[in-house]
Amino acid sequence: MIVEQIMKTPVITLQPTNTIAEAIQLVRQLRIRHIPIVDAENHVVGIVTDRDIRDVSPSIFRIHEHLEDLQKPVSMIMKTDVIVGHPLDFVEEVAALFYEHKISCLPIVKDRKLVGIVTETDLLYTLIQLTGAHQPGSHIEIKVPNESGMLSKAAAIIAKRHINIASVLLYPDQDENYKILVFRVQTMNPIGIINDLRNAGYTVLWPNLPGVSS
Amino acid sequence: MKKDCVFVYSDDFLQYKFHDEHPFNQLRVKLTYDLLRAMNALDDEQIVAPRIAMDEELALIHDHSYIEAVKAAGRGELSEQIALNYGLGTEDTPIFPNMHEASALLVGSTLTAVDFVLSGKATHALSLGGGLHHGFRGKASGFCIYNDSAVAIKYIQEKYGLRVLYVDTDAHHGDGVQWAFYDDPNVCTFSIHETGRYLFPGTGNVNERGHGAGYGYSFNIPVDAFTEDESWIDAYTQALREIADFFRPDVILTQNGADAHYYDPLTHLSVTMKTYRVIPKLAHQIAHEYCDGRWIAVGGGGYDIWRVVPRAWALIWLEMTEQSNVSDNLPKSWLDKWQALSPVPLPQQWDDPESLYPPIPRKAEITEKNAQTVEKALYPIRSQRQKANQST
């Protein structure tokens, strides 16, 4: 999946000459946390986050003092070393970027112009879509030896029941000789599949509560 | 026995049948009916025949194209690929002859119950053929074709203009009804179910609270797998009391899926008949406290049709008609009649033995986690009340 498929458009922006007060209003009204700052050509020249705004907002004990400060331009508080992405970037890379740089938003730039934005919220939403958790289905975990071909063998057993697979995840078990296959299957009655898998010698974790046998 | 209750019933409910091996089996309604008759707890004049829902009524919730597809499927005239787009012809909802008529009858049954209560001809009504809470606007899902409960709620709004509290105690999340009214502040949905971590449909998280104007009118309590009576009842009681007090409904519609029982093959909860006594009892109280008695109850899931559903569903009727002080043995005539057909030994008594299942490890943690879930689910109500108390 690429960024183009998950980025938000149009982007709410301000220009460097807009006031801090305007930024505060945008953040509050639209419940957003990041405002890219662009110039007349729509080039990203900075970014203002809700944290930057909080830093310059008066304390709640001094709410009516120094209001003139809020009339200063956002160019005085914006961060200018902005990390940007491209519409063709991979979504996984964006996740790594967020983690590595401890940031939570990525303006997306094409031909040097701002075309979209991806936030942590969008990434999380995408992850939910990828796991298939937004469609009705049952969730089955299968513990398999860490060998090639296990996924297709397990999937073949499910296919025999003509049940659609909404998503598959694969993660290592605590014991490195094993892996856990997670299937989200579109049925309310996975008992048949579970019995087939168990009869074929697989360990099915459903549900998987430590200390409780299923 | 109270006479102003109706039991909507027809043997034709059995027409809603996917195939012999399918877990959804409406024989359970007949078994319940038969149990109540065997103990003389259900009189002829209390039994009402269901009507068939009209297309316009189904269309209160469902897309016309979907209704047409169900009709065509029932006549064997729908191609496999098109059917699959409507969720028809899947493992969960296979196509069967005249599936439209069979499904429309279940909806009509619940509408019949609604009309009896809201026209004042009955205080409470029970439609055990209904409770098909997974049906979507344009798609069959989770054994459900038409969503009788969602249609009934919309019907109540349009015809009677009342505010409905929907209470769903099925072990599966009541997703179809929730999404149908997700942005509507005049319908409050409350579903308590096994967590969607493993179980179908996977939704029903605490944070699903509604959308737009309907934000704050959708409540979900996903309890942990292996939850037992005490913790389940505690969650249900606290939540239903506080939600009813918050919403102040005109009428309540309860969905009574009986699949949270330890015996149920499709779920992992561990409740017993104790829970199935409490569910209708509290619903009954709430109906009288807030709705002048107006209470419509429907069926739902329930896949141990021999050992669990007849007793659990009979208790709804017994509660409605104030005959719920039954205990000890089930009627011998009923046991004799059905034991031969049952693949498992039928329970002999109304209540389950204390030793129904081996002790659940980590019970304390499960109980603690459920209590936290209840707290999260009710947080908006409680904080609102706290604010109101402070300002007075």
A72 and A56 part of one domain: yes
Does residue A88 sit in the same domain as residue A177?
no
Q: Is B265 in CB contact (< 8 Å) with chain A?
A: yes
Point out the residue among A137, A164, A206 whose CB comes nearest to the CB of B202. Answer: A137
User: Is residue B251 pLDDT above 60, yes or no?
Assistant: yes
Task: Say if residue A64's pLDDT is above 90.
Answer: no
Same-domain pairing of A54 and A74: yes
User: What's the pLDDT score for residue B86?
Assistant: 96
- Tell me what the pLDDT averaged over chain B comes to: 96
Domain span at residue A99 reads 3-127
Residues A28 and A81 in one domain: yes
pLDDT exceeds cutoff 50 at B303: yes
What pLDDT score does A125 carry? Answer: 86
Q: Look at strands A178-185 and A138-145 and give their pairing.
A: antiparallel
For residue A186, give the CATH number of its domain.
Answer: 3.30.2130.10
Is A42 domain-assigned?
yes
Same domain, A184 and A81: no
Its pTM stands at 0.84
For range B109-115, the mean pLDDT: 98
Per-residue pLDDT band at A211 (split at 50, 70, 90)? low
Please check whether residue A213 lies inside any domain of the structure: no
Q: How confident is the model at residue A214 (pLDDT cuts 50, 70, 90)?
A: very low
Q: What is the structure's pLDDT at A136?
A: 87
In a domain, A210, yes or no: no
DSSP-based helix, strand, coil % in chain A, nearest 5: 35, 30, 35
Please check the confidence at residue B119 and state whether its pLDDT lies above 90: yes
Which residues, including other chains, have CB under 8 Å from residue B359's CB and lie 6 or more apart?
none
Q: Which of A127, A146, A164 corresponds to the end of one domain?
A: A127
A69 and A151 share a domain?
Answer: no
Instruction: Assess whether A109 and A140 both reside in one domain.
Output: no
Residue A96 and residue A163 share a domain = no
Same domain, A190 and A91: no
For the complex shown, is ipTM > 0.85?
no
Query: How confident is the model at residue A58, as a pLDDT?
Result: 85
Tell me which chain B residues have a C-beta less than 8 angstroms from the C-beta of A209. Answer: 224-226, 362
Structural domain contains residue A214: no
In this structure, what CATH number is given to the domain that contains residue A73?
3.10.580.10
B99-102: list long-range contacts, CB under 8 Å, 24+ apart.
B99/B16, B99/B70, B99/B73, B99/B74, B99/B145, B100/B67, B100/B70, B100/B71, B100/B73, B100/B74, B101/B15, B101/B52, B101/B74, B102/B12, B102/B15, B102/B16, B102/B17, B102/B74
Say whether residue B199 is in contact with chain A using an 8 A CB cutoff: yes
Greatest mean pLDDT range, A70-74, A177-181, B197-201, B291-295: B291-295
Within this chain, do residues A60 and A151 fall inside the same structural domain, yes or no? no
- CA dist., res. A200 & res. B66, Å (int): 39
Confidence at residue B2, expressed as pLDDT on a 0 to 100 scale:
59
Q: Which CATH architecture has domain B5-352+361-391?
A: 3-Layer(aba) Sandwich (3.40)
- For residue B151, what pLDDT band results from cuts at 50, 70 and 90? very high
Q: Is the pLDDT of residue B54 over 60?
A: yes
pLDDT in tens, B136-150: 999 999 999 999 999
- Does A99 map to a domain? yes
Residues A116-166: pLDDT tens digits? 999 998 888 888 777 777 788 998 999 999 998 989 999 999 988 888 898
* Mean pLDDT, rounded, of chain A: 89
The pLDDT tens digits of the residues spanning B208-235 come to: 999 999 999 999 999 999 999 999 999 9
Put simply, whether B203 touches A (Cβ < 8 Å) is yes
Q: Average pLDDT, stretch A5-28?
A: 94
A190 contacts on B by Cβ (under 8 Å): 200
In which band, very low, low, confident or very high, does the pLDDT at B3 lie, cut at 50, 70 and 90? low
What are the domain boundaries of chain B? 5-352+361-391
Mutation target to probe the A interface, by most A beta carbons within 10 A, among B19, B200, B269 is B200
Q: Are residues A119 and A148 in the same domain?
A: no
Per the DSSP assignment, residues forming a β-bridge with B48 are: B8
State what percent of residues in chain A have pLDDT above 70.
Answer: 96
The per-residue pLDDT for A209 is 53
CB contact under 8 A, A209 and B362: yes
The token duo for A124 is 């999380």
B4-12 average pLDDT score: 97
Position B132 pLDDT exceeds 60? yes
Residue A211 falls inside a structural domain: no
Tally of domains in chain A: 2
The per-residue pLDDT for A65 is: 85
Domain boundary among A127, A143, A158: A127
**Same domain assignment for residues A143 and A122:** no
- Residue that terminates a domain, selected from A127, A155, A184: A127
